[in-house]
Amino acid sequence: MKALLTIEKLHKDFVLHGQGGIAIKVMHDLSLELHRGECLVLAGRSGIGKSTLLKMLHGNYLAERGSIRIHFDDGLLELTDLPTHAWHRVRRDVVGYVSQFLRVVPRVSAREVVMEPLLARGAYAQDARQRAETLLARLNLPERLWSLPPGTFSGGEQQRVNIAEGFIGEHPLLLLDEPTASLDATNRDVVVEMISEAKARGCALLGICHDEDVRSRVADRLLPLDEHLMARTSSQETF
């Protein structure tokens, strides 16, 4: 079966212009494949480049070179060549992202935050609202909070809004950055179930997860990044 996502020989450097142009070489020749229905968890020490990889897949960071391809039944999408304006549709329809921290917009309620990915695709407000509320209830977010902006919510409450917003769109590829870091055991179990259901409907998931219990329950494979990614300054090493 053809992979949904293929990454080949991906390189990433950060150049710190404010610090005399020091180059941090984060990623060197990373290649991977991810299939529909599979959950791949990135492993490796802090600072190795796990979040950087997710951000490159979501268009926040550009690759120096290499390719990131999404394969559909009727063709492929090369993400490293994508013009900036095309990323909006990719994020809307293809690549979902549960970030570690909620992007809070003043005066936008938790319910509206979760509805937004469906509204952006033209869903009826009533349907979007119903699906958002079903997810918020499933994640045990108290109903009294649904109509409030999540800026003042606790870390775990904000994370559940984030998870609902990330899962509601049922994207073919879903990126998970520590989705259970601030959750209690009950809600961790809910997220594990939601990941299993996403896999069952053919979603491919790529995530970071330091919680060993959650990781062992959701990961089909671990990718140890240390073999591929090297974080060194250019003064220490040249490739």
Ligand X SMILES: Nc1ncnc2c1ncn2[C@@H]1O[C@H](COP(=O)(O)OP(=O)(O)OP(=O)(O)O)[C@@H](O)[C@H]1O
Query: What minimum distance in Å lies between the beta carbon of 116 and ligand X?
Result: 26
Nearer to ligand X, 24 or 94 (CB): 24
Site string for ligand X, 1-40 (x = CB under 6 A): -------------x---------x-x--------------
Q: Which amino acid is at 89?
A: R
| Site membership for ligand X, residue 49 (CB under 6 A) | yes
Dihedrals φ, ψ of 135, to 5°? -70, -45
Nearer to ligand X, 103 or 144 (CB): 103
Nearer to ligand X, 55 or 111 (CB): 55
Q: Which of 47, 151, 155, 202 binds ligand X (CB under 6 A)?
A: 47
Site string for ligand X, 198-237 (x = CB under 6 A): ---------------------------------x------
Which of 44-52, 72-80, 108-116, 168-176 is the region at the interface with ligand X (rule: CB under 6 A)?
A: 44-52
| Site membership for ligand X, residue 52 (CB under 6 A) | yes
Tokens of 202: 């053919």
Which of 29-37, 41-49, 104-112, 124-132 is the region at the interface with ligand X (rule: CB under 6 A)?
A: 41-49
For residue 239, the tally of other CB atoms under 10 A from its CB is 10
Nearer to ligand X, 55 or 131 (CB): 55
How many residues in the shown chain lie near ligand X by CB under 6 A? 11
Query: What minimum distance in Å lies between the beta carbon of 52 and ligand X?
Result: 3
DSSP letters spanning the chain: ---SEEEEEEEEEEEEGGGTTEEEEEEEEEEEEE-TT-EEEEE--TTSSHHHHHHHHTTSS--SEEEEEEEETTEEEEGGG--GGGHHHHHHHTEEEE-SS----TT--HHHHHHHHHHHTT--HHHHHHHHHHHHHHTT--GGGTTS-GGGS-HHHHHHHHHHHHHHT--SEEEEESTTTT--HHHHHHHHHHHHHHHHTT-EEEEE---HHHHHHH-SEEEEGGGT---EETTT---
Nearer to ligand X, 47 or 151 (CB): 47
> By the criterion CB under 6 A, which residues form the site for ligand X?
14, 24, 26, 46-52, 231
